[in-house]
Structure 1
Amino acid sequence: MAVSRPKRSLARRAVAFVKRLIHKHPVPDLSLPVPTATQAASRPDKKTILKHPAKKDFLKQIVPEAVNDCPLPSFDPGIFHSELLDLKLYPEVDPNDPRKIREPEGNVREGTYLGTQLALTQAYERVEQTFNSLFDVLGIEPTFPRYVSLEQQRNLYQFTPYPNNADGTPADYPPHLQHIPVDKNHTVFGVFNNAGLLETAVILQKLIPDEDGFIGRTKQWLLEKARAAAYGGEPEKGITIQDVEDYNRFHRKVGTDIAGGGNIGLLDDWYSDRRFAEQQFTGTNPTTITQAGKQWIGEFLTAARIGGYNAWISALEAADPASLFVQDGSYFRDAVGVTDPTAALHHKQPGSDDNWCVGAVSLFQLHDDGKLHPVAICIDYRGSMEQSVTIFNKRLTPRDSTKTEKTDWPWRYAKTCAQVTDWMRHELTVHLTLAHLVEEAIIVGTNRSLPMEHPVYRLLSPHWYKTLSVNAAARATLVPQVIVDIVGISPEQCHSFIRHAYDTYDFVAHYVPNDLARRGFPNTAEGLSSSTRYRNYAYAKDVLALWTVLRSYVAEMLALSYPSDESVAQDRYIQSWCKEMRQGGAHMSSFPEIRDLESLTDAITMCIHTATSFHSAVNYLQNFYLAFVIAKPPMLCTAPPTSLSALQQMKEHDLVASLPINRQRQWLLSAQVPWLLSFRTPQDRSLLNYAASMWRVYKTKKGRREKMVAEASERLYARLRETQRVVWENSRAMEKGSLPYMVLDPGNTAVSILI
């Protein structure tokens, strides 16, 4: 006989129901750390870890059937290593006398475009690894920190001689770290004998076949196009700009840069006035466009009269002078040491092709609605407008019809000249010199002047990560083995160009507010946002916002150590630092004499800005704008016209001939430079991660000073997070159809010069 159970009360049943509900859907203990909703949503759970992938989804990621179609992001390191040995691409050291070293005897005679590209990427990574290892052992960039005294720092961090080498010859580069000890018998350096460094000095060149050594389908395609033009006697039957656009659209490789491998050539109007002007404000070099001033306005009026551009004479005379801006390459001949203003800038590197360089000057008008419009281009300034060739835009305003833009070959050629000039100025001066080499001088000068426990040293050192080894690799390989092969000036002239940029650099004038004012732009957030005129200059708005955030943080951190201006003036290490930078090995006379807290705050902010926001702005968009080589080539492949009539008669085949379209070797090198330098910033090396790391390290420390550091770091994080919104809003505020400009998002902005 069944025994009936007594009925539970309603209250007891309710409690049991709640217990079952809690057991089924447990809630986190709020007294413990709880992940954000985004983090929680991405975590695996018992359902996801037991879920088998659907067949359709799995088959999407299966490798292609044919091995030839398999994507190859890089060669297997072991295979690459073995191939270098098979090709004898290694130096040999005499076992009886380590000073005797034989250069690698091998050379790659033949190869495909893709294979060479992969080999170059992998070889350059190994070059960087070589210098990373060397600098680790020397204690310059150690894997684990090592405390050394100031005296030891001075012995370790020595400047190279400048402006001349010890033998009296001009130095190749501005003052930088003397990473090879003067005493070659130095015991630490013995670990890295000259063979290792010799290999870095030749390896890239030896991996690149000569032009005739390229094989594969792309080479065959180019040859067939060339034959069609040659045998038919009709240049227009050869390769066209449209052919190059189609090749870029369907055959380019996927990228790991901030733009995900996209490039400007994917836009139908990549060649247009709009895209050309847009790059002056948000391209790879948005840092040099400057108000034209009376001199250049007068020069272009002279050119308009010479060329008979009457409509432009009237327009320029009526224009507000403050609306006219230039990109000025007129100084190129002076910078490379050419005294004849009419001499052609031309060079042919052994084993390569004839290249030409030009010092173009471009005039723009900034309209009240924010549209920047190209007015005229002097394709190569030769001392005066009378001796130069200057062409004016057929379109007087950005609202004029764009129907003839695509086939206006003389104007497209002129814009190409302007892009060649900007490539040179950007890569060799703005990027290499004013970012990499200026920051290196700061790093070496600081290490020679400030002990490691000094508050300024501690504030600056996180922004030096990898920079010295990256720079050493660039000096050993990128410039002498790649850049000199694709520009229209000699190696000696390249070095002169770089030295000129360093020698004319003004540290204080490049503080962001000073720089904007110097170039004719408002230098406050209110000024840049007060009208639509500057709506498209997102770089100016973003970099000013970051400068303001960084300066606030620097001021807070310095206030912990310097209660007054007098305390700054009496800090002998700061005074030693200024002397080292101004009169010592750095040879940077524009570095400030620091006697008060305000000037110290500005100088430290500038040091950090150079390594972070400035370098990020001029580095991480390179692949997008430069990988489609014809949009911004490093050189001209034919001599520029020397008369306006010759320029005005140019056709498409003339433009094609001036571009490295039929030069696979130089195209590869031109595309490889931005590819190597544009890898996305690792998440753990961003400014935001720096702020979060500082806060997390200091948040549990008990001292009053430590708590203040934690609070300052938390405020830095909050301000950087708000700046992310500002960057997005500035990008969205640009006119419709503009390329988004997010490179200075603090989540993308690198904390140091990493590449």
Structure 2
Amino acid sequence: MAQQAPVNPTIPQNDPAGAAARKAYLETMQQQYEWTDAVPSLPGVPAVKNLPDSEQPSLEWWLMLVGVLLQIHRNDTAAEEALAAKGLASLDPLVLDADKAFVGAVEKLVTSLEQKIAGTKVTKKNIGTVVGEFLEEEAAKAGVAALKDYAAKLISTIEHRAALKAASGASDPRSIDDYREIFKTIDIPAIAYTFQDDREFARLRVAGPNAVLIELVEGSVPASCPITAEQYAAIVPNDTLAAALADGRIFQCDYKDLATIEPGIWNGQAKYLTCPVALFAVPPQSGSLVPIAINCDPSNPACEVITPSTDPDRQWGWEMAKFCVQAADGNYHELFAHLARTHLVIEAVAVATHRHLPDQHPLWALLVRHFEGTLFINWAAAVSLITKGGPIDHIFAGTIESSQATAAKARLSFNFAEGALPANLAARGFGPDSKLADYPYRDDALLVWGAIEGWVRSYVSVYYAADSDVAGDTELAAWGSAIAGAGSIEGFVTPATIADLVQVLTMIIFTGSAQHAAVNFPQKAIMEFAPAVTGALWQQAPDVQGGATKAQWLAMMPPQEMALEQLKVLYLLGSIYYRPLGTYVSPQYPYPQWFQDPAIIGEDGPLARFNAALAGVEQTIVERNANRLHPYTFLLPSLIPSSTNI
């Protein structure tokens, strides 16, 4: 039977008759959800020791995954056929026929399951009643098993396309068109044609995969990128560096936290990475950033400040400097903003929730749907993504050991209170008087944060009448202590008041849903095209700007085999939109509505108001995008999954 939230959730002090049952439930959960900090690929990071069976993804999720894998497989097949047509690869007809038969079987199963699920309907009057032609429960379980098997076989095939690897490794691309050529049946992202534009480079700081690093420069130009007044005046007309600093119009991205990464080697070829500093300005009578300077390697005294230029002798030095920033940004995004500060933070909260909040607790009912798939996908990443020989090892610059250690450090140094969106924006200099008007991530994220905060406040008020109810909740106290203690979440303080509780829950739900969406889905839209954002430099960064060539710039880019792997991995990670924010249904087929408490699901209740608020946010962002030069879609509520499940 599908699991659902209780009809009458209660906090422990209001449920004296159920104390024994609550205790027994938690004892069972604590045996299933054990802590460990010995995951080999994430040293010292608290995680679940063994993945409980209940954390396996749903039938719908597996269908989405297999569907995306089929799209990647089709792109690979088309790429192989194109190489064969050019005489760069030979394909065995028998292997091709077997491959087509296998794909046909997968497609047949996917179509059948999708049609049967579409025919499954759950009535509003009786949640347990299913009407119409539908998928039997046992058939659903069998479907999951078959899809898991097909997914494993598809992944194996995608990872071991021998003809494709041999041909792509035979001659590295030396033109941007060569990188575009690997997109056969997968659409080429728009950034493949705009990434060299300086305005696009600046826009990525506020609307790209890593829009959480840029910060205001206060006082004086940083010593790590000492642009002069003369250099600034040549870049920004009718302005002075002194005036821009005084007005709060100079910003920086400093990648100093990447210093722990030790560059590694792939197939005997050295990879490189620096910790650049990039400066940006908002010109007078403008609200948008323009790039003004880059120091590719502040630790190297020979590195000069490189500035925008179209001079034939200096323009490729500038392009190389931007590429250094993009490689650093790719590492910071993947290890810090994405893996450490969404996936791994939420895992600690999820484990603590299962261990210390019984299934009769209202906060258990609120939170667990926001953890759906997280422990599974984190486990999968730990054993395949960030391991020796995995994509992080291949695509990114560091030795796998140093990348793992850097991600672990990023997670353990994350401060929960300081990471909350309003506090984080203020700390980076983006208060109400910020001169940076064009910051789509900030503006849209605040809308979503507000909608979540309103939902949480309405929900909490149903079960906590006064601050004393929060202070007297012993299960809540144990939960908070576990997150801060065993979970090693710095800056987490157990809520003592209703206001505290609302902020803590808002932060958790926002991080697992909206913040993850903001850093995950640009992987497909932007990062799948390696010349735009990648994980390593394949030639050293320039010390000086003059004399560089286009060939040297291209030589910094990854080999075609690495670009293809990057496309496949990031296309997969950025393509699964499973259960949008505001959707609360059971994780078990046939997925009845999750909440059952009439105080929550009434026609004008908290859940209905939350979904109305999300619809309002959606409309506002759509209207904003109509007036933006480049629409920002990553925080449209309809495109925000409820949980970190990919």
Both proteins in one fold, TM over 0.5: yes
Note if 1:655 corresponds to 2:553.
Answer: yes
Determine if contact 1:173/1:498 at 8 Å carries over to the other structure: no
Equivalent residue for 1:612, pick from 513, 538, 563: 513
Q: Over residues 684-739 of structure 1, what are the superposed CA-to-partner deviations in whole Å (9 max), with x where a residue is unaligned?
A: x011444999xx9599x7x76356686111111111111111111222232xxx32
Structure 1 match to 2:632: 741
Letter of the structure 1 residue corresponding to residue 624 of structure 2: N
Query: Does the aligned pair in 1 maintain the 2:586–2:594 contact within 8 Å?
Result: no
Q: Secondary structure at the match of 1:419?
A: helix
Whole-Å Cα distance in 1 between the matches of residues 272 and 513 of structure 2? 33
Q: What amino acid sits opposite 2:478 in the alignment?
A: S
Cα distance in 2 for partners of 1:206, 1:554 equals 42
Give the conservation status (yes or no) of the 8 Å contact 1:538–1:731. Answer: no
- The corresponding residue for 1:725 is 619
Rounded to whole Å, the distance in 2 between the matches of 1:206 and 1:745 is 31
The answer to whether 1:281 aligns with 2:224 is no
Q: How far does residue 171 in structure 1 lie from its aligned partner after superposition?
A: 5.2
Alignment match, 2:34? 158
Name the amino acid aligned to 1:667: A
Partner of 1:214: 165
Give 3-state SS (helix, strand or coil) of 1:618's partner: helix
Query: Could you tell me how far apart the structure 1 residues matched to 2:175 and 2:464 are?
Result: 64
Percent identity, please: 24
Question: What SS class does the counterpart of residue 325 from structure 1 fall into?
Answer: strand
Deviation at 1:633, TM superposition (A): 1.8
Distance 1:215 1:311, change over 3 A: closer
* C-alpha contact 1:507 1:590 (8 A) present in aligned 2: yes
Which of 611, 614, 629 is matched with 2:530 structurally? Answer: 629
Question: One-letter code of the match for 1:673?
Answer: V
1:746 aligned partner, one-letter code: P
Between the aligned partners of 1:487 and 1:506, the Cα distance in structure 2 is 26
- Report the residue type matching 1:555 in the other structure: R
Tell me how far 1:496 sits from its aligned partner.
Answer: 1.5
Q: Does 1:602 align with 2:503?
A: yes
Q: Provide structure 2 residue ranges, at least 5 long, that are not aligned to the other structure.
A: 6-21, 53-147
Any idea what the Cα deviations from partners look like across 1:156-210, whole Å, max 9, x if unmatched? 1112126xx8xxx9953621111169xxxxxxxxxxxxxx99x99xx86994478
Aligned AA for 2:298? Y
Distance 2:525 2:46 in 1: 31
In the alignment, structure 1 segments of 5+ residues that lack a partner are: 1-141, 182-195, 226-238, 256-260, 337-344, 395-402
1 CA distance for matches of 2:258 and 2:269? 21
The letter of the residue matching 1:381 is: P
- Residue 184 of structure 2 corresponds to which residue in structure 1? 253
Asked if the contact 1:160/1:175 (under 8 Å) is kept, the reply is yes
List aligned pairs for 1:372-521, cutoff 5 A.
372-382=289-299, 386=301, 388-394=303-309, 408-480=315-387, 481-521=390-430
Give the counterpart letter for 1:263 in structure 2: P
Q: Which residue of 2 aligns with 1:551?
A: 453
Q: 2:615–2:637: 8 Å Cα contact kept in structure 1?
A: yes
Aligned to 1:325: 251
| Distance of aligned partners of 1:390 and 1:179 in 2 relative to their CA distance in 1, 3 Å threshold | farther
The verdict on how the C-alpha distance between 1:153 and 1:691 changes in structure 2, with shifts beyond 3 A counting, is: closer
Shift of 1:429: 1.1
Give how far 1:310 is off. 7.8
Would you say the 8 A contact 2:336–2:407 is kept in 1? yes
> CA–CA distance in 2 between the matches of 1:751 and 1:704?
22
Q: State the secondary structure of the residue aligned to 2:31.
A: helix
Deviation per CA, 1:309-356, whole angstroms, max 9, x where unpaired? 7857993223234111111102221x44xxxxxxxx42114x453211
Give 1:555 shift.
0.5
Distance 1:751 1:406 in 2: 50
Cα displacement string for residues 652-676 of structure 1 (whole angstroms, at most 9, x for unaligned residues): 010111111xx23212222222111
Mark the structure with the bigger radius of gyration.
Answer: 1
Code of the residue aligned with 1:572 in structure 2: it is: T
Looking at structure 2, the residues matched to 620 and 290 of structure 1 have their Cα atoms a distance apart, in angstroms, of: 23
3-state secondary structure, aligned to 1:391: coil
Contact 1:550/1:605 (8 A) holds in 2: yes
TM-score by length of 2: 0.73
TM-score, normalising length from structure 1?
Answer: 0.63
CA contact 2:273–2:536 (8 Å) conserved in 1: yes
Q: Secondary structure at the match of 2:29?
A: helix
Residue 69 (structure 2) aligns with: none
Relative distance call for 1:330 and 1:152 in structure 2 (3 A) is same
The reply on whether 1:754 has 2:638 as its aligned counterpart is no
Write the distance in 1 (CA, Å) between the matches of 2:569 and 2:359.
Answer: 35
What SS does structure 1 have at the residue aligned with 2:219?
A: helix
CA contact (8 A) 2:413 2:490 kept: no
Question: What amino acid sits opposite 1:658 in the alignment?
Answer: M
Q: Deviations over 1:230-269 (max 9, x none)?
A: xxxxxxxxx333x33xx62x662344xxxxx3413443x3
Deviation at 1:467, TM superposition (A): 1.2
DSSP 3-state at the match of 2:638? coil
Q: Distance in 1 between matches of 2:582 and 2:494?
A: 31
> Could you say which residue in structure 1 is the equivalent of 2:95?
none
What CA deviation, in whole Å up to 9, does each residue of 1:556-576 have, x standing for no partner? Answer: 110111111111011111111
What SS is found at the alignment partner of 1:297? coil
Question: CA offsets, 1:434-477, max 9 Å, x none?
Answer: 11111111101111221121111111011111111111111111
1:406, 1:262 → 2: CA distance?
31
8 Å contact from structure 2 (residues 417, 492) kept in 1? yes
CA distance in 2 between partners of 1:485 and 1:457 (Å)? 39
**Counterpart of 1:676?**
572
Return the letter of the residue paired with 1:677. Answer: L
Secondary structure at 1:428 match in 2: helix
Moved more, 619-628 or 314-323: 314-323
Per-residue deviation, residues 264-305 of structure 1 (Å, max 9, x unmatched): 3443x321110001111111111221112336535433x549
The residue type paired with residue 373 of structure 1 is V
Give 1:534 deviation, angstroms: 4.3
State the shift of 1:624 in Å. Answer: 1.7
Query: Aligned residues, how many?
Result: 522
Contact kept, 8 Å, 2:308 with 2:315, in 1: the verdict is no
Amino acid at match of 2:195: W
Q: 1:469/1:691 Cα in 2 relative to 1: closer, same or farther (>3 Å)?
A: closer
Which of the pair has the greater relative contact order for Cα pairs under 8 Å at 6+ separation? Answer: 2
For residues 563 and 670 of structure 1, the distance between their equivalents in structure 2, rounded to whole angstroms, comes to: 51
SS at match of 2:293: strand
1:505 alignment partner AA: F
Relative to 1, partners in 2 of residues 1:418 and 1:265: Cα closer, same or farther, differing over 3 Å?
A: same
Q: Is residue 514–residue 635 contact of structure 2 (8 Å, CA) maintained in 1?
A: yes
Question: Per the alignment, in what secondary structure is the counterpart of residue 329 of structure 2?
Answer: helix
